[in-house]
Amino acid sequence: MKHPTVYAKPDKATLEGMLGKSLLCTQDFSDAEIDALLAVATTFEQLDGRGVRCDVLPAQLAYAVFFDNSTRTKSAWAGAAARLGMHPVIVDGSSTQIAHGETAWETGAMLGMNAHALGVRHDTILGQGQTMLRELKGGIDAFLRDTGDPRAVPVVNLQCDVDHPTQALADLQWLRQRFDGSLRGKKIAISWAYSPSYAKPLSVPQGEAMLLSRWGAEVVLAHPPGYDLLPETIAWARDNAERSGGRFAITHDMDEAFAGADVVYPKSWGPMALMQERVAASADKKALADIEKRMLAQNAAHTDWICDERRMALTREGKALYLHCLPADIGAEVSPGVMERARLDVACEAHKKVYVIMAALAVAKVPKLWRALKDLHKRG
């Protein structure tokens, strides 16, 4: 099953304006820039599907640091870098000198002198991830500027406390390909769902709310009381919806969000008050473990927040497209039957990320990218 059908030629001037641009938060990108980035991702997906080598960045180091677990995003980073001809290296954040107190600014300078792109995941503590990404970028840019080094070393956010942009962009790409290029008028339910496994970051629902609200859709966010998201991300989602002629609403009723939905995105995240408690306790392992237990106990008051057959039947003709960033808690966030029916869809959704990361690196680093893509098309 292949869906790389939505193709619009990326706008040349927009692409040139994105040279050197880091992907830290989708809110930093205009609609035209998002469209250009996804057009490039579609091109890479088509070329890759035809077996065409896309090595537009040969012999460059794509370094990534993960302060949290990952299966999909790590492999998408490595897969994107390898397809572009780069050399991917992924390290555990706790093994760097940041764990011994080296500042993000200093670390950025050190990584920037050796690498040609930097990916970072830092998603568990509110107020830390996005801040660290911007400090790393500041350190890289200062080193390159002060040494007269012309290299572009973009930073790619591989999930922080605010946004998970490669996930949200992959999801938008998947939705556009499934809905013939347009989300206008579609109802998209982003819902909290019960999880007993661990308290998950806020950045997926925040990133989805911010990005999916830009294209004229009706986006409904559902969660139990106490599971609010960061207010600035909600304010951006509201503004985006208003600007696009769409709608953004919040409810505490999962059924209401699912009623008539074209798309459902039910996944868990941690309760806000305890996410905030984590900030003060972030250096204390025992306190963090205690907070985690309390988060799971709070989650357990909402075991009925599950995406099951009854709820799917409430959606448009009972056939809403089920999205999940994965891994999903089967039997808690989603029933086994719903997940089994969506198994291939969620795998295809996840596969978009490799092309989004390729696009994010290429638009930031390849001058006259449209010409390079034209040359690649001639290869096969």
Which residues are at the interface with ligand CP (CB under 6 A)?
70-73, 159, 167, 325-326
Q: Are the C-beta atoms of 314 and 258 separated by less than 8 Å?
A: yes
Q: Can you give the C-alpha Rg of the chain in angstroms?
A: 20
Closest CA to 314 of 289, 282, 338, 348: 338
**267: which residues sit within 8 A by CB, 6+ positions away?**
191, 192, 193, 200, 204, 205, 324, 325, 328, 333
CB atoms within 10 A of CB 189: 29
Residue 292 has which token pair? 């985690």
Rounded distance, CA 147 to CA 20, Å? Answer: 17
Buried b (16+ CB within 10 A) or exposed e, 52-76: bebebbeebbbbbbbbbebebbbeb
Question: How many CA atoms does the CB half-sphere of 9 hold within 13 Å?
Answer: 7
DSSP labels, 241-276: HHHHT-EEEEES-HHHHHTT-SEEEEE----HHHHH
